[in-house]
């Protein structure tokens, strides 16, 4: 190998190393959004953490007869009574039951936005993450239309496309359903 | 049905439909009758509770049925068949909460006027006049 070729080769390797390093640089100033990642019928979903006040075990949900089938019932939470929404049913998935809700991993997300609040039943909370803005992508155009109306972008979580639910749309749909 | 003033005791007759505990203000009830078996209702003016206020799950049959007859002056007649009647309970009205707004849309008020929080669970407090009022049941 001539000196010139060796030099060009060195330059190429150096450029490749620089490019690799650039890929690993994390923008620490990038804004992040806290997301609660959870499972419903083996499917992953996320919800902005700023609307999730707390996560509580399912406990004893008391069915209130004669109410919308979207609601499984009510639970007492620190001296107050809170409704529990069947989130799976609202998303067009097979409905949950109170019996199925009593699993060890089942959780109720206490969700609040402006004047509205309700508990939402999920099968399990998988993670709570701080997702950089660049990790949130537009949702797939092939997403189920009922779900697409209630989602607002998607997150790649462990390589799995995870719809991010839009809490305002969820409450609006609930209001329409209960009107 | 209006809750009693804060701190005032409230006598409630408690019963169950499946695992749900429900209660009715004793002032709304004239008398009760316990029955050996679920009665036929056709043409009798009697109504099963779950036919007036439907449950999400099927209610097969009543194990220990009882009939609640409404007090005179309540504006309704007939009788309400309930299940597993318990003793009269005295509740502190401070333990009673409202039904969450999602379950009680203003245009279609629910006959459950409150929920009593007891150490052994919740009791849904029903307005007997609204449950028995003539017309379609809540599901129709």
Model ipTM value: 0.87
Rounded distance, CA B74 to CA B55, Å?
25
Q: What's the rounded mean pLDDT across residues B94-104? A: 90
pLDDT of residue B140: 44
pLDDT of residue A21: 59
Q: What are the E-state strand segments in A114-176? A: 116-122, 124-132, 136-137, 151-157, 160-165
pLDDT of residue A30: 79
Q: Which residue has the higher pLDDT, B54 or A118?
A: A118
- How far is C-alpha A142 from the chain's CA centre? 18
CB-based contacts of A25, cutoff 8 Å, min separation 6: none
Share of chain A above pLDDT 70, in %: 92
User: In this complex, do A74 and B122 lie within 8 Å of one another by their Cβ atoms?
Assistant: yes
Least confident span in A21-30, A125-134, B79-88, B96-105: A21-30
How many other β-carbons are positioned within 10 Å of the β-carbon of residue A100? Answer: 14
Q: With 0-12 CB in 10 A as exposed, 13-18 as middle and 19+ as buried, what is B116?
A: buried
Least confident span in A51-55, A94-98, B26-30: A94-98
Instruction: Tell whether A74 is within 8 A of chain B (Cβ).
Output: yes
pLDDT of residue B137: 60
Instruction: Tell whether A10 is within 8 A of chain B (Cβ).
Output: no
Interface test with A, best of B56, B110, B111, B138 (most A CBs within 10 A): B56
End-to-end CA distance of chain B: 22
Least confident span in A1-10, A15-24, A35-44: A15-24
Confidence of residue A28 (pLDDT cuts 50, 70, 90): low
DSSP symbol at A30: S
CB-based contacts of A47, cutoff 8 Å, min separation 6: A35, A36, A38, A109, A111, A164, A165, A167
pLDDT of residue A22: 55
Interface test with B, best of A60, A62, A67, A98 (most B CBs within 10 A): A67
pLDDT of residue A20: 62
Average pLDDT, chain A: 87
Q: What's the rounded mean pLDDT across residues B55-74? A: 91
Shortest distance between the Cα of B111 and any Cα of chain A, in A, equals 9
Of A166, A170, A158, A162, which Cα lies nearest the Cα of A38? A162
List, for residues A70-122, the tens digit of each pLDDT value.
999 999 999 999 999 999 999 989 888 777 777 778 899 999 999 899 999 99
| Position A23 pLDDT exceeds 70 | no
Instruction: Tell whether A63 is within 8 A of chain B (Cβ).
Output: yes
| Position A37 pLDDT exceeds 50 | yes
| Position A12 pLDDT exceeds 70 | yes
User: In this complex, do A62 and B138 lie within 8 Å of one another by their Cβ atoms?
Assistant: no
CA atoms within 13 A on the CB side of A25: 8
Signed CA dihedral, B71, B76, B78, B82: sign only: negative
List, for residues A142-160, the tens digit of each pLDDT value.
888 888 899 999 999 998 9
What are the Cα distances from residue B103, in Å, to A178, A179, B54, B83? 8, 11, 14, 24
Share of chain B above pLDDT 70, in %: 91
Could you tell me the pTM of the whole model?
0.84
User: In this complex, do A81 and B98 lie within 8 Å of one another by their Cβ atoms?
Assistant: yes
DSSP symbol at B56: S
């Amino acid at each position: 190998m001539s000196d010139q070729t060796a030099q060009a080769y060195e330059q190429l390797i150096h450029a490749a190393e620089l490019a690799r390093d650039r890929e690993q640089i994390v923008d620490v100033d990038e804004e992040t959004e806290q997301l609660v990642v959870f499972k419903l019928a083996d499917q992953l979903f996320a919800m902005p953490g700023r609307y999730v006040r707390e996560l509580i075990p399912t406990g004893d949900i008391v069915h209130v007869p004669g109410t919308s089938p979207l609601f499984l019932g009510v639970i007492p939470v620190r001296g107050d009574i809170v409704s529990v929404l069947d989130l799976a049913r609202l998303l067009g998935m097979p409905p949950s039951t109170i019996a199925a809700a009593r699993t060890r991993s089942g959780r109720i997300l206490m969700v609040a936005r402006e004047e509205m609040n309700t508990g939402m039943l999920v099968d399990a909370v998988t993670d709570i993450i701080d997702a950089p803005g660049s990790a949130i992508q537009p949702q797939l155009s092939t997403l189920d239309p009922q779900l697409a109306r209630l989602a607002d972008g998607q997150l790649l979580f462990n390589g799995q496309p995870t719809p991010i639910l839009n809490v305002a749309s969820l409450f609006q749909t609930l209001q329409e359903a209960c009107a | 049905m209006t809750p009693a003033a804060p701190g005032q005791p409230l006598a409630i007759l408690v019963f169950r439909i499946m695992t749900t505990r429900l209660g009715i203000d004793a002032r709304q009830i004239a008398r009760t009758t316990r029955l050996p078996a679920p009665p036929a209702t056709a043409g009798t003016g009697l109504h099963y509770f779950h036919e007036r206020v439907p449950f999400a799950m099927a209610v097969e049959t009543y194990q220990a049925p009882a009939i609640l007859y409404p007090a005179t002056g309540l504006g309704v007649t007939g009788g309400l068949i309930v299940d597993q009647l318990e003793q009269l309970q005295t509740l502190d009205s401070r333990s009673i909460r409202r039904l969450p707004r999602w379950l009680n849309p203003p245009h279609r008020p629910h006959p459950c006027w409150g929920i009593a929080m007891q150490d052994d669970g919740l009791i849904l407090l029903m307005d007997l006049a609204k449950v028995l009022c003539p017309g379609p049941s809540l599901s129709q």
